Amino acid sequence: SAPTPTEPPQPTPTFTVTPSPAPVQLDESYDNDTYGISIGYPSGWVIEETYEPGESWTIKILSSASESYVEIIGQHAPDVTLKQFVSARIGLDEQYMERNRVPIKDMPGYFSEGKHVFTENSIKIVMFLKDEWAIHAAFVVGGPQDEPTLDLMRDSFKLKIP
């Protein structure tokens, strides 16, 4: 009798799931008692500080592996209201497109979410007044793998009330 034809083995379908990027540990801390702020950041990120005493200061925390960064800027603004500061900060930034803005619980400030007009990278901004200073912190995603880390950094960003 003739051999019975056998079906060739069919490949088993496989499904690949792309895991969400895991946040990196925030194992370093930046504390500035002069301006009353603190923030956690991953080791390997670089800090740059610029001061113009009595006028403004900038703290940049840059990823060493991507284009992501956090920029915290304080400007001496004794007569500015929170509303004036927020509308100037968002309204004058031509590279930022805001999607959403909400008041921050526990402090006089706002949290804004949006994206860079050209790169479409996610940007989140925290804005508040402290004493005579208008302070904003921009969390700029340079690569999608960094978004969870920047969210953790934003959550760790604290205003120290003396």
pLDDT tens string 90-144: 988 899 999 999 998 877 899 999 999 999 999 999 999 988 999 999 999 998 8
Q: In a 3-state reduction of DSSP, which class is residue 73?
A: strand
The pLDDT value given to residue 63: 94
> Does the pLDDT of residue 18 top 80, yes or no?
no
Rounded mean pLDDT, 2-18: 63
Give the predicted TM-score (pTM) of the model: 0.83
The pLDDT value given to residue 12: 64
Catalogue the long-range contacts made by 78-82 (C-beta closer than 8 Å, 24 or more residues apart): 78/132, 80/129, 80/134, 82/108, 82/109, 82/110, 82/127, 82/128, 82/129
The pLDDT value given to residue 76: 95
> Does the pLDDT of residue 46 top 90, yes or no?
yes
Q: In a 3-state reduction of DSSP, which class is residue 103?
A: strand
The pLDDT value given to residue 8: 65
CB 158 within 8 A of CB 38: yes
Helices (H) and strands (E) in the chain, counts: 2, 10
Q: In a 3-state reduction of DSSP, which class is residue 153?
A: helix
Please give the distance of CA 103 from its chain centroid, rounded to a whole number: 17
Selection from 3, 65, 18, 26 nearest residue 150 by Cα:
26
Rounded mean pLDDT, 59-71: 94
The pLDDT value given to residue 10: 66
